Copies of this chain bind each other. A is one copy, B any other.
Amino acid sequence: MLKHSNIDAVLKALAEPTRREILERLTQGPAGVSQLAEPFNMSLAAVVQHLQVLEECGLIKTEKIGRVRTCRIEPGGLGGLAQWIADRRIPAERRLDRLGDLLIEMDPEN
């Protein structure tokens, strides 16, 4: 599970459309840097920079074997954000349930 302080880094990483597309590509399987750069028509340097942001916040892992850097999704990397959202959805949804109950109670036809 990611630390709460990481939520900021994960959200900032995901707020960039190219980084979301890279992540999306990696959910299909590991890929090399040049493979990732291809569909984006971007320089390798720009892709490497995006990969660094994704790796620093724990969403992906990269590993250099010889001259090739392979990137893969970090399983559970989105877990912290999923939990953060779940924690914030529950109180609001709960309050809505209570409002629903109240409206049912107040319904004169009930």
Contacts and interface: CB of A to CB of B under 8 A. Distances in A.
A47 B81 CA distance: 24
Q: Can you tell how many copies of this chain the complex includes?
A: 2
Interface stretch (A7-15, A37-45, A63-71, A102-110): A7-15
Contacts of A29: 95
Contacts of A17: 8
Band of interface residues on A: 20 to 34
Contact of A23 (B12, B23, B78, B88): B88
15 contacts: A7-B20, A8-B15, A8-B17, A8-B20, A11-B14, A11-B20, A27-B88, A27-B91, A29-B95, A75-B96, A76-B93, A81-B85, A82-B85, A82-B89, A85-B85
Interface of A: 7-8, 11-12, 14-15, 17, 20, 23-24, 27-29, 73, 75-76, 78-79, 81-82, 85-86, 88-89, 91-93, 95-96
